[in-house]
């Protein structure tokens, strides 16, 4: 599903959706590879989010591509930004 969403985003030339799909895919693979450390919870949570459509769509038409894009945006905003550092302050 994630690969199809990324391929769809590439065809649509939707750069933000490409990054979102890649973020979800990366986190899913990494959490699975590190399941000995993190357990199965993080991986299962991402799978559950990717496989479920939102209950309140607010009139927006949802498909698997848009769900993965939204999950990716959430992962980028809540998980990956925490790990982003401003290297400018550390240079010197």
Name the residue ranges covered by the structural domains of the chain: 2-52+63-85
For 8-20, letters b (16+ CB in 10 Å) and e give bbeeeeeeebbbb
Q: What are the pLDDT digits (tens) for 33-84?
A: 999 998 999 889 888 888 886 655 555 666 777 888 888 888 888 777 666 6
**What is residue 33's predicted lDDT score, i.e. its pLDDT?**
93
- Please report, for residues 19, 24, 67, 86, the alpha-carbon distance to residue 30 in angstroms, rounded to integers and kept in the order given: 16, 10, 20, 23
């Amino acid at each position: 599903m994630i690969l199809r969403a990324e391929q769809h985003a590439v065809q649509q030339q939707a750069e933000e959706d490409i990054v979102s799909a890649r973020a979800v895919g990366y986190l899913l693979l990494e959490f699975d590879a590190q399941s000995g450390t993190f357990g199965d919870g993080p991986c299962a949570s991402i799978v559950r989010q990717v496989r479920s459509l939102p209950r309140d769509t607010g009139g927006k038409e949802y498909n698997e591509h848009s769900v993965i894009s939204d999950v990716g945006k959430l992962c980028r905003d809540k998980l990956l930004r925490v790990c982003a550092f401003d290297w400018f302050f550390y240079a010197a």
